[in-house]
Amino acid sequence: MKAYPLTSLTVTEAQQLQFKLVDAITRIVPGDELLTGGDLGVVKGLNQPKTTYQIEQVLANFFESEQAMLVRGSGTNAIRLALHAAVGTGKTLLVHDAPIYPTTKVSIEMLGIQTIHADFNDQTSVTQALNERQVDGVLIQVTRQKISDSYDLAQLIATIRRVNPLIPIITDDNYAALKTKAIGSQLGGTLACFSTFKLLGPEGIGCIVGEKEYISKLREENYSGGGQVQGHEALDVVKGMIYAPVALAISAEVSEAVCRRINEGEIAEFKKAYIVNAQSKVVVVKLKEPIAQAIITEATKLGALPHPVGAESQYEFAPLVYRVSGTFKQSDPEAETTMIRINPNRSGTDTIMRILQASVKRASR
């Protein structure tokens, strides 16, 4: 199995993102307002809370884009709204020739959008699809849809822009935002979408970043008071986001260390470990014996999380020891019994190795 994980930020690079976000906040929001709970409701002239308006300006500046918008429905609805605004109902969408993320597939079906497939790992395939078919927009999932995916986001967007400079490009930056050097809108994409819950933020709040033309349309449509992200929620978005880059960079370093120690033979029952983006950057371990479920059960008793909450959300500080994704099971029918995945979350290498060693010992009895 050959995998091509995304390049993570170093801790030093992540520190600079933290400093950049704090700087962006201080340029927009007065200090005394940072110590409040934010305001509520459809303020006259804004049709949204003033605090939310300010934080959206902060995020637009931080991500070097024309506008940003916080939305209800997390990353899923951010993508759905972006598809609605930039592509439209009944239009055609170029997607990667791979399984589409389930909630994104539902959004595409809801909008009656027809999909055209191309291999995003092959520039010729992408160029050919754009030249030979009527394509109204492109959707790129930044993290890997298949184990073998190797496309570079910046290069892929550049390839599309060479063929069609004006076509809307929507990027699904879930599981990648603030883990890598840039989101899609910073690399030439039209709209970038992600969940702030995955960045230590509040439940259910998504973010769309990018071109004013489309985000302004969404603002006009989001008229009702019940659809607004309230001021306290907007503040919680940046409170979590400030700490996310460094926390995620540390997690990436721990993943590398765990993978290395496993491949050095520290746990005899483990055959091979890999770093993959599925969807978060995790360690996937191939076992010598089909005892995956027993290991997961024992790891839970020893303090590991048995399932994800929001993929590295504020609730997930213990390591996750869990089954592999459906993508792996599609490529390897035995994966459910012979493979496990590990997400360090906020834990250290020694903690993970201790839990794994004890779990294997118990599972092998």
pTM: 0.95
Of residues 205 and 333, the one with the higher pLDDT is 205
pLDDT class of 268 with cuts at 50, 70, 90: very high
Every domain of the chain and the residues it spans: 11-244, 265-363
| 346-364 tens-digit pLDDT | 999 999 999 999 999 999 8
Average pLDDT rounded to a whole number, residues 297-305 = 98
pLDDT given at position 347: 98
pLDDT given at position 327: 66
Give the closest residue to 304 by CA, choosing from 318, 288, 287, 324: 318
Q: Give the list of residues 6+ apart from residue 300 with CB closer than 8 angstroms, or none.
A: 306, 321
* pLDDT above 90 (res 325): no
Q: Are 202 and 232 in contact (CB under 8 A)?
A: no
* pLDDT above 90 (res 248): yes
pLDDT class of 2 with cuts at 50, 70, 90: confident
pLDDT given at position 214: 98
Return the CATH fold of 11-244: Aspartate Aminotransferase; domain 2 (3.40.640)
How far apart CA 200 and CA 295 sit, in angstroms, is 28
How far apart CA 108 and CA 193 sit, in angstroms, is 15
Return the CATH fold of 265-363: Aspartate Aminotransferase, domain 1 (3.90.1150)
Per cent of the chain over pLDDT 90 is: 89
pLDDT given at position 105: 96
Average pLDDT rounded to a whole number, residues 59-87 = 98
Tell me the β-bridge partners of 321: 342
Element (H, E) at 95: strand 92-96
Q: Give the list of residues 6+ apart from residue 249 with CB closer than 8 angstroms, or none.
A: 8, 9, 10, 11, 13, 14, 179
Long-range pairs for 317-321 at CB < 8 Å and ≥24 separation?
Answer: 317/345, 317/346, 317/347, 318/345, 318/346, 318/347, 319/343, 319/344, 319/345, 319/347, 319/351, 319/352, 319/355, 320/282, 320/345, 321/295, 321/296, 321/355, 321/356, 321/359
Q: Are 321 and 285 in contact (CB under 8 A)?
A: no
pLDDT class of 278 with cuts at 50, 70, 90: low
Per cent of the chain over pLDDT 70 is: 98
The DSSP output letter for 230 is: P
